[in-house]
Amino acid sequence: MRVHAAHLLVPVPSTPRRHATLRFTVSATATSVNVNQAGAASKQAVIVGGGLAGLAAATHLASLSVPFTLLEASDRVGGRVATDEVDGYLLDRGFQIFLTAYPECQRLLDFQALRLQPFFPGALVYLGAGEGGSPFHMLSDPFRFPIRSLSSVFSPVGTLPDKLLVGITRLRAAATPDDVILSSPETTTARHLEKLGFSPSIVERFLRPFLAGIFFDPGLDTSSRLFELVFKRLALGENALPEAGIGAIAAQLADRLPAGSVRLNARAASIDPSSGVTLDTGEAVSGELGVIVAVEQPEAEKLLPQLPARPKSKKPAERRTVCLYFSADRAAVQEPVLLLNGSGKGIVNNMFFATNVAPSYAPAGKVLVSVSLVGSFAEREDGELAGEVVRELGGWFGAGEVASWAHLRTYRIGFAQPDQTPPTEPAGRDPRVGDGVYVCGDHWCSATFDGAMVSGRRAAEALANDGGLSQSLS
């Protein structure tokens, strides 16, 4: 079966507009430039971890002309934000979407250079056979595209009041300042949706699969604050993929850093504020101006035993996902839309034809299929899992449609996001965790690209302020 959602044929919004970009005049030798601080010229800060948080911290230190070395354990920067090029296909390490409304990203990134390719704002929900004729139903944003949304009014994904509630929730979130959202009373997302008045139908058929794909949390235990924050970003901007893959975001930040300031394959084994960082090779890297620890939560807890223990009342929250890629000869859906599994059956959470969004994701004439599962599926080998996914999606589109699919690669992401169940403190945790030691990363803010970058800026600002190194951005 080929799915043609006629209401999707309205032209999608044009490429996101260019946002104001913070420009830096850091020269290639900024790591060795003098700071405006007597006696500090030969000293440096150290950043441990080159994900978005570490790269944002580095960007801010560079803009303040604070010398630093960024130590990254792996052979590339970007952390969880990465793209592999495999035989001409661009494979993001896990399905990730860039939201153009992220304010910190607007400040730090050149959107135009990323050549963002927008998704259709809505989702095509698979409900399965026997549900109102077609197994697929379109749910588009009723406030952005009221005419198009009429068709969704009559779809079986939720009630008409549900659809209005989606729009109202987005509008309310859009009008609420971030600090109000992030300090508001919190509960779980599941409880919050119930309190807002959503029917079980829209929760099970749309909101649960949609949010499970964002938070990797099918139980919807994630804090209602994060739900509101994400809804706000969805309301205010577009969902997009950079033309060169999601890793282009990290690459853009890294490319602007002073030459020689990043060391790859350099794993920090311990941190001592007086001596700096010791690598797993035994090498000491001095960090007289301070050490910023920008690693993922489990690693941060190992390196910094002084971090506050997570409340014992919290259930262990495992946020895992598996992303499978297939090449295909054609796409069963022609539009740049995310497909959600609202049937309550099977293992697929969401899928999309990546080349419908960004043709650059595959060689000419080929289609890239991205399929995401929530959980670890550790007991199943890659080949077995791929076979199960193709069989399941053959049930969605027809066996003929998936016959040409060839498995390219499977990414198993064991740690996708930190625990964001209540109680949370995403509003603004102090990055200072010891004398001269600062922490950042998505576990210190919100688990988003933006949250990671905000946390990196805050850590850099704290280090610069504490050392009297702040100067206005050039």
Ligand X SMILES: Cc1cc2nc3c(=O)[nH]c(=O)nc-3n(C[C@H](O)[C@H](O)[C@H](O)COP(=O)(O)OP(=O)(O)OC[C@H]3O[C@@H](n4cnc5c(N)ncnc54)[C@H](O)[C@@H]3O)c2cc1C
In the complex, the residues that contact ligand X under the rule CB under 6 A are 48-54, 71-74, 79-81, 94, 96-97, 267-268, 294-296, 299, 321, 413, 416-417, 441-442, 447-449, 452
Residue type, 382: D
Nearer to ligand X, 61 or 452 (CB): 452
- What distances in angstroms separate CA 237 from CA 219, 231, 251, 343, one per listed residue? 27, 10, 22, 28
Nearer to ligand X, 413 or 433 (CB): 413
Query: Closest separation between CB of residue 442 and ligand X, Å?
Result: 3
Beta bridge partners of 223: 188
Nearer to ligand X, 127 or 248 (CB): 248
Q: Is 300 within 8 Å of 441 (Cβ atoms)?
A: yes
Residue among 474, 453, 336, 355 nearest 408 (CA): 355
122-126 vs 268-272, strand pairing mode: unpaired
DSSP 445: S
Query: Closest separation between CB of residue 356 and ligand X, Å?
Result: 17
Q: For 68, how many CA atoms within 13 A lie in the half-sphere containing its CB?
A: 35
Query: Closest separation between CB of residue 297 and ligand X, Å?
Result: 8
Query: Closest separation between CB of residue 277 and ligand X, Å?
Result: 8
Nearer to ligand X, 3 or 339 (CB): 339
68-71 vs 83-86, strand pairing mode: unpaired
Residue among 452, 424, 428 nearest 178 (CA): 428
Nearer to ligand X, 188 or 370 (CB): 370
Query: Closest separation between CB of residue 417 and ligand X, Å?
Result: 6
Nearer to ligand X, 136 or 449 (CB): 449
> CA–CA separation, 141 vs 56, rounded Å?
32
Query: Closest separation between CB of residue 398 and ligand X, Å?
Result: 29
Crossing angle of helices 160-174/146-153, nearest 10°? 140
> CA–CA separation, 243 vs 76, rounded Å?
20
Nearer to ligand X, 50 or 245 (CB): 50
Query: Closest separation between CB of residue 448 and ligand X, Å?
Result: 3
116-118 vs 239-242, strand pairing mode: antiparallel
Query: Closest separation between CB of residue 174 and ligand X, Å?
Result: 17
Nearer to ligand X, 127 or 408 (CB): 408
Residue among 447, 304, 355, 351 nearest 136 (CA): 351
> CA–CA separation, 462 vs 460, rounded Å?
5
Nearer to ligand X, 81 or 348 (CB): 81
> CA–CA separation, 101 vs 411, rounded Å?
27
> CA–CA separation, 285 vs 276, rounded Å?
6
Nearer to ligand X, 35 or 99 (CB): 99
Query: Closest separation between CB of residue 18 and ligand X, Å?
Result: 20
Cα dihedral 200→202→206→207 (10° resolution)? -70
Query: Closest separation between CB of residue 240 and ligand X, Å?
Result: 11
Q: Is 232 within 8 Å of 101 (Cβ atoms)?
A: yes
Residue type, 460: A
Tokens representing 14 are: 């044009």
